[in-house]
A and B are shown apart, each in its own frame.
Chain A
Amino acid sequence: ETGVTQTPRHLVMGMTNKKSLKCEQHLGHNAMYWYKQSAKKPLELMFVYNFKEQTENNSVPSRFSPECPNSSHLFLHLHTLQPEDSALYLCASSQEGANYGYTFGSGTRLTVV
């Protein structure tokens, strides 16, 4: 148990579908992040939330829509995705002043068909 829980673990969706990824952290952290990990590429930052306010949108296409209702929960709403969006989507959290980096969730393996 990492303290950051992501659901679902695996998701297959068509290009016309709408789905949501969920992330929940049980660590009392006040920042949460979405990262994308594709094969042969480094982890790419997508969104940053600090005290449930979005502080970073790393030029992510609008077909990805984040939502952070409180400091413990983070969603990524998906619609009209493309096959190249297939990747591992990782949620992470961190704490102000901490020197132990991110705590990652197990990720959602997304396949767009």
Chain B
Amino acid sequence: GQNIGQPTEMTATEGAIVQINCTYQTSGFNGLFWYQQHAGEAPTFLSYNVLDGLEEKGRFSSFLSRSKGYSYLLLKELQMKDSASYLCAVRDQRGNAGKSTFGDGTTLTVKP
């Protein structure tokens, strides 16, 4: 089975940096994804990690440590539009049909 943990809520200030953590215990591992979901909308893909280390993509970066079952999403230069829910998801097998299990999501509120 899969067990994924994320903080429920976080608050940060516009222009600041915020780190959202994700821990996982899974029966299989073939990649970890981060998605962003604004209220009332579908999740959208942000990042993918399958090897240890940091992946940077503009203002967003994602880190993975497979030995620790740990990932984080780092958001820099926060903007008001970054207020959303951030979902951590683990894919459990090879191939595109490998299903992803999602964490509960972290609701981030960015304040002026």
Residues of A whose CB lies within 8 Å of any CB of B are 2, 29-31, 33, 35, 41-43, 45, 48-50, 55-56, 90, 94-107
A49 contact set on B, CB distance < 8 A: 97
B97 to chain A, nearest CB (A): 4
Complex contact A31–B103 (CB within 8 A) = no
Q: Is A106 within 8 A of B48, CB to CB?
A: no
Q: Given A43-B87, A50-B95, A96-B96, 13 other A-B contacts at CB below 8 A?
A: A2-B44, A43-B43, A43-B89, A43-B102, A45-B99, A48-B99, A50-B96, A50-B97, A94-B96, A97-B96, A99-B31, A102-B35, A102-B45
- Pick from A33, A41, A103: contact of B45, CB below 8 A: A103
- Contact status A96-B99, CB under 8 Å: no
Chain A residues lying within 8 Å of B43, measured Cβ to Cβ, are: 43, 90, 102, 104
Q: Can you identify 9 A-B contacts, CB atoms within 8 angstroms?
A: A31-B96, A42-B4, A42-B105, A45-B100, A49-B97, A56-B99, A95-B96, A99-B48, A99-B50
- Chain A residues contacting B97 (CB-CB under 8 Å) are 31, 48-50, 55-56
**Chain B residues whose C-beta falls within 8 Å of the C-beta of A55 in the assembled complex:** 97
Q: Which residues of B contact A (CB under 8 A)?
A: 4, 31, 33, 35, 41-45, 48, 50, 87, 89, 95-97, 99-105
How many A-B pairs fall under 8 Å by CB? Answer: 63
Report the bound CA distance from A14 to B4 in whole Å.
35
Main secondary structure of the interface of A (DSSP, over half): loop
> Knowing A29-B96, A42-B103 touch, does A100 contact B42 (C-beta < 8 A)?
no
User: In the bound complex, how far is the Cα of B45 from the Cα of A101, in angstroms?
Assistant: 6
Which residues from A are CB-within-8-Å of B33? 101-102
Residues of B within 8 A of A95 (CB): 96
B104 to chain A, nearest CB (A): 5
Q: Tell me whether B96 and A101 are in contact (CB under 8 A).
A: no
CB–CB B48/A101 < 8 A: yes
* Identity of the chain A residue whose Cβ is nearest the Cβ of B34 in the assembled complex: A101
Contact A104 B50 (CB under 8 A): no
